[in-house]
Amino acid sequence: MERTLHPHLAKRMVFADASGKSRLSQMSALELVRYARDGSGLEPKDHRQRDIRVLDVYGNAATGRLEMNDWIDYLHMARYEGQWLIINVLWELKSKE
């Protein structure tokens, strides 16, 4: 995972707090790598969903959508020093309905 993230990555989510006020949660590339290393967010293999779609590419910029069991990531990627890296992620938890 670390090789796919730009060091200045920002992973963000907008959510409502207990009072209903909008809040912004943010995670850095380092925090995301540590989170993954700890096994957080890992689903059993027979319960994993990974649907990945490239939505658009133009020059050195691209946007994609990653759907997992419990969340959806919208990714902004850039070709940086010849390698595609994830620069920004805006994500949303799926409802438990």
Q: Give me the helices (H) in the chain, please.
A: 29-37
Domains of the chain: 2-41+48-93 (3.10.450.50)
CB 84 within 8 A of CB 3: no
pLDDT of residue 1: 79
Least confident of 19-28, 48-57, 60-69: 48-57
CB 11 within 8 A of CB 26: yes
Across the range 38-67, mean pLDDT stands at 84
Structure tokens given for 20: 């209903």
Between residues 88 and 96, which one has the greater pLDDT? 88
For the cut 90, the answer to whether the pLDDT of residue 81 exceeds it is: yes
pLDDT of residue 97: 65
5 vs 80: CA distance, rounded Å: 10
**Tokens 């992973």 -> residue:** 11
11 vs 32: CA distance, rounded Å: 8
Instruction: Report pTM.
Output: 0.82
Across the range 54-73, mean pLDDT stands at 95
Contacts of 81 (CB under 8 A, 6+ apart): none
